[in-house]
Chains A and B, each alone.
Chain A
Amino acid sequence: MTPLLEVHHLRVTYRKTTVLDVDHLTLEPGEVLAVIGPNGAGKSTLLRVLAALERPAQGQLRYRGIPLDWKNTLTYRRRNAVVLQEPLLLDMSVYANVALGLNLRGRRGAQVREKVENWLNRFRVLHLAHQSALTLSGGEARRVALARAFVLDPDILFLDEPFSGLDVLAREDILSDLRRVLRETNTTGFLVTHDRDEALALGDRVVVLMQGRVRQIGTPREVFTRPVDREVAQFVGVENILAGRVTGESATGVRVHIAASLTLNVAQSWSQPPEVWACIRPEHIHLGNPEFARPGATTFDARVEEVIPLGSRVKVVLRVDEVVLTSVLGYAHWANMGLGEGEKVVATISPSDVHLIAR
């Protein structure tokens, strides 16, 4: 199947500095591609280029297999819609703001009214239709901005950090509405975010962008549990990146020596030099009763160094010899165990939850 959007050899430079250098990237029909990366990675620039708001120094954009003519982007832009970090509503009524895109396409009348009211309703802001857009709260303005984009029935919806600056409640509320609407409409989406949770909640595939380059593309599960290198691992929240040495094969894969009292069983074959980084997500270090551990799991004793409550979860810092590990568990589970600082605990790690990368 032809990708909906495809870029080749894309390069963007500002004052002779290359800020974006993407060799190849595709957007498949119906998928939501989430681009994550630290600040200044070039995420928003990538979005603006793909949405034809900014012309790259070099590179080709293919829309349904046809190269984009950079001299005339209007037709392409009118097939898509963009939601930026700020709602950027115009000094008009909420209704007029949502109708704007349709009006720009020369569409007026009853059909427009019906569509606008439908989308205001779906984002639960219909009651604000006749209010000035400048009087809205942050959350309301985001909802209007989303309605303004969806009303255009876009081929591709470009979303640049659509929840930045919102409080947690409003953010989660709008996130779940957006997730539902994206699924219901089967809209193809290109989402830029620095927030891993948003990428996980909305993305079908995740792109990790760092220093203007694509470092990894994959399903959220792949990217979050199988990062390609140490920097990506750190960015996607792998808090345990342990220096180790492959010492031999095991029934499930290989054995990796981390410390005198800690040798990990890893379900991964390894043929490169034996010095490795063993990556383990904090939620994959289980504490307490090892009876439920999977066969071949590594079980070891650790000392609790620190307990940090994080609302619904608790972060527990462990020590094994000279190695420090971080585990995250549910608050209820932690409360049941009655685990305190200085106590000993049994920890378990499944072989498939360890990911090795070359050191």
Chain B
Amino acid sequence: MDTIIQGIQEAIRLLIHRDPYVLEITALTLRVSGTATLIAVFLGLGAGVLLAFADFPGRRFVIAAVNTGMGLPPVVVGLVVALFLWRSGPLGTLGLIYTPTAMIIAQTLIALPMITGLSMAALQQLDPRLHWQLLGLGASRLQLILLLLWETRLLLLAAVIAGFGAVISEVGASMMVGGNIAHYTRVLTTATVLETSKGNFALAMALSTILIALTYLVTFALTSLQQKARRV
């Protein structure tokens, strides 16, 4: 119990004194997870639209794969990305292993199935006749898709919140493809693991507290947007 209280006190102290180490880690965490979420939103919405409305052979298998992917352990994603980016791997020549870019790639792959699956489900729960109605009012294909996305905006924001929550809290993949290198690829989760293993429980607790506060702030911002969208 003392460790927890000490940790929170330590977190407040680090933030008040604008500890450069903590600020750097926090900034990188936001940059990596934010970028990954953003990329996953673009790819995931596109894939979600495609899966919800397009009919192609094997669609059901793809949907099942996406749904499986929603519960994919980050460690597995990390392993696969690491194998690809490893110096002797197929993409080894890019020299991306143990870089923030590698972490972004891994986190994008973690968030992608979640955002794809949830946006597909959101679009599919719309009245199928809405399609006809909008075409009947003169919507082009693109306008149709944008309007359908607009209709599901509350659920789509929920998908974004879930995706961001998943990547900012994962540690396995970041550790494997980022390597937890100080001043380069160390993020809040990997730093917490490291400090815990060194026995610096108070610092670990402080980093965790900052992580939770950060997640809460970003989620709060997205939720405000979502609930604002509710009011017409």
Contact = CB atoms under 8 A, between A and B. Distances in A.
B150 interface: yes
A14 to B, nearest CB: 14
A22 to B, nearest CB: 19
Nearest to B148: A90
Interface in A79-100: 80-82, 84-86, 88, 90-93, 96, 100
A10 to B, nearest CB: 18
A251 interface: no
A202 B143 CA distance: 33
B137 A148 contact: yes
Contact of B232 (A54, A77, A132, A148): A132
A104 B137 contact: yes
A257 to B, nearest CB: 52
B17 interface: no
B127 A82 contact: no
Contacts of B143: 104
B132 A152 contact: no
Contacts, number: 59
Interface in A36-74: 48, 51-54, 74
A101 interface: yes
Please classify how large the interface on chain B is, using the bins under 10, 10 to 19, 20 to 34, 35 or more.
10 to 19
B76 to A, nearest CB: 38
Contacts of B58: none
B127 A152 contact: no
A101 B137 contact: yes
Nearest to B143: A104
Contacts of B150: 90-91
Contact of A77 (B129, B130, B136): B136
A78 interface: yes
Nearest to A90: B151
Contacts of A84: 129, 132-133, 136
B102 to A, nearest CB: 40
A127 interface: no
Nearest to A76: B138
Interface in B77-132: 127, 129-130, 132
B138 A104 contact: yes
Nearest to A93: B232
Nearest to B130: A88
A-side interface size class: 20 to 34
A28 to B, nearest CB: 21
Interface string B132-145: 11011111100100
A90 B147 CA distance: 9
A48 B132 contact: yes
A52 B147 CA distance: 19
Given A86-B129, A88-B130, A81 B136 contact: yes
B158 to A, nearest CB: 15
B139 A104 contact: yes
A53 B150 CA distance: 21
A152 B136 contact: no
A152 B147 CA distance: 18
A93 B232 CA distance: 6
B135 A53 contact: yes
Which among B129, B130, B232 has the greatest number of chain A C-beta atoms within 10 A? B232
Interface in A145-164: 148-149, 152, 158
A89 to B, nearest CB: 9
Contacts of B135: 52-53, 77, 82
13 contacts: A51-B136, A54-B132, A78-B138, A80-B136, A81-B137, A81-B138, A82-B132, A82-B135, A82-B137, A84-B136, A86-B129, A100-B137, A149-B137
Given A88-B129, A104-B139, A149-B137, 16 more contacts: A51-B136, A74-B140, A81-B136, A82-B132, A82-B133, A82-B137, A84-B133, A84-B136, A86-B129, A91-B150, A91-B151, A91-B232, A93-B232, A100-B137, A105-B138, A134-B232
